[in-house]
Structures are given as C-alpha cells and as structure tokens.
Amino acid sequence: MANSKPRVLATRLFPPDVEARLTAHFDAVLNPEDRLYDSPSLTKAAAGCDAIMCAAGDSLNAATIAALPTSIRMIATFSVGYEHVDVAAAAKRNILVANTPDVLTDATADIAMLCLLGAARRAHEGAALLRAHHWVGWAPTQLMGTHVTGKRLGIFGMGRIGQAMADRARAFRMQIHYSNRSRLSPDEEKGAVFHANPDDMLAHCDFLSINAPMTPQTRKWVNAERIARLPKGAIVVNTARGGVVDDEALIAALKSGHLASAGLDVFDGEPKLHQGYYDLTNAFLLPHMGSATVETRNAMGFKALDNLETYLLRNQTPPNLVTA
C-alpha cells in the first residue's frame, strides 16, 4: 500500500527529538550524514516531495526555487532569519515559506552577552595563553581589558533579541541606547535612549551590539565611516548576521586600535570567514552558536514542524508564515 503521508525533505541532520516527530508524521527524506546540498542535488533530492525543511545556510535562491519539482508546496526553515530563501520567488511558484520566531531569543541574547564579555575581558587571549602553557602566574598589568559595568551599550535592532540583550546588560548597570525602525513603547523601552537615526547613536556606544536582520538596507551597515564615529576603544558585538558587517573595515579598525576588540558569532559567507580574523588576538570568535542549546534547537524544530503539520496535514495557514 502506498504511503499516504506527505513527503518532506530534511536538508540537514536535525536534533533527534525533531527527527523523531518528523518521521512519525511525514514520509521523511532524512540526511543522516548532514551533507550540504548544492542547488542541483537539492532539487534532485526534492523529487516527489511535498515540502522542504531547510536551515540557515541552505541556498534556496530564485534559481533553485525555480528548478524545484512542481510537487513542492512549502518551505519550512529551521531559523528565524529567512534571507537564504527567496520568498518572492517562492510566492511566484505558490510555495509557502515559514520560519521559527520567538524560540531562540534568550539563547541568542546569552551568546551576545558572552561575546560582549569575552571581547571586553580578552577571554580568547587568556585561554590561549593558558592552553599554550605560557602562563607564568598573575601579574598586575596582565591582560587588562575593558570594564563593562556602567558603560554605554548601543543596540542596532531592538526586536526580541535586542530587548533580551538589553535586559541582560541592565544587570551590569549598562546604559542602553538603541536604534530601531520604530520606537518601542515606554514599557518595552525601560528607560533606554532611542535614536531615530542609528548614525546618531554611534558616538554614545562604548559597546555596539548588532541585532538587526539582514536586509539590503543593513548589508555592510557597520562600515568604515560608521566605525570611525564610535569612540576610540569601543567594542563591536555581532550575533545577528555576518553580512551586516564590512569585514575589511572591522578588521582594519581592530588592527589600528580604534576598536579595542570585537565579539562575533556570525560571519559573512560563513563558514568561510574572512581570513583576516584568524590572526587577530583581539577578536573573540564563535562558530554561530547563538541558538545552540538542546532546548532551543528542539523548540526551533518543533516550531518548523508546527508549520509543516498545520499546512500539510490540516490544510490550514502555517502559524509562522512569512511574506516577501
């Protein structure tokens, strides 16, 4: 007897609990080796499938979507950001696109604070010194970093993650400045200083945290001109998308000493990040770990499955539908 369950292609190896639910409710095409699909192999693997469950890094651009089998009705991404999916191209094919908001806010804000603290307190240099067996003991001037408590934190993009970052920073008595497409309500603002023009915020940033989505307007927003507006010795943190930062400009500022350090969890073109970062001792670098807790990754997968089940099994609008 033919399998009557809708067929779903899983482009990556997802957490065990997520794949267990996926295989229970769908005819799942899994990827146990977690091999990366290029466009031709993805379109081939999607043959006969009703939907694709993808992740950040999968290039579902216009050309790939145009080549997908006619059977594909939905793309559910295991992520909040969906810049890797050409939503307009999907709409032309009547393919729905859904994402997973709300579930990774705290985990990503935690990593943002880790990047801030790691960069400020020279954590990479300290760990490297210790692991290389070069530490000879405490010294009065050893690895003096930047004091965090009481400093000014500018947040570019005050959505859920930006607000969660601000809440954490307030525990360090940091003064919060922010710029957002729209001003928050007083209850959400919690005394933070709003800057309608983000360029006006930069002079008030001892720390600058990037929490804005990747859009054509934010592409390489952190450029040489804006970095120059930051106070000398400022620290840049990015846990949003690597493309919001101009790598050449940031690396130059870290080398010149205009910026004290940077804490980065995301990179343009990752995993092939700019080679200039590797030799910078004042760059605290993490491999896109923002949502990497068991609880958060399961919640992301379950939300992606909520979207798939709502549409494919109940023929209803997915709860997290995105539009171009």
Confidence of residue 324 (pLDDT cuts 50, 70, 90): confident
Catalytic residue among 241, 248, 274, 295: 241
State the average pLDDT for the chain: 96
Convert the pLDDT of each residue in 226-276 to its tens digit: 999 999 999 999 999 999 999 999 999 999 999 999 999 999 999 999 999
pLDDT, tens digit, 9 for 90 and up, residues 213-224: 999 999 999 999
**From the candidates 124, 152, 226, 288, which is the catalytic residue?**
288
The pLDDT tens digits of the residues spanning 91-107 come to: 999 999 999 999 999 99
Q: Is 241 a catalytic residue?
A: yes
Query: Is 193 within 8 Å of 158 (Cβ atoms)?
Result: no
pLDDT at residue 2 tops 60:
no
Whether 84 sits among the annotated catalytic residues: the reply is no
Active-site residue, 248 included: no
When pLDDT is averaged across residues 307-317 and rounded to a whole number, the result is 98
Give the model's pLDDT for residue 278.
97
The answer, yes or no, to whether residue 212 has pLDDT greater than 50, is yes
- Catalytic-role residue among 270, 295, 309, 314: 270
CATH number of 105-285: 3.40.50.720
Assess whether pLDDT exceeds 70 at residue 3.
no
CATH 3.40.50.720 residue spans of the chain: 7-99+294-322, 105-285
Answer whether residue 1 shows pLDDT above 70. Answer: no
7-99+294-322 classified as CATH 3.40.50.720: yes
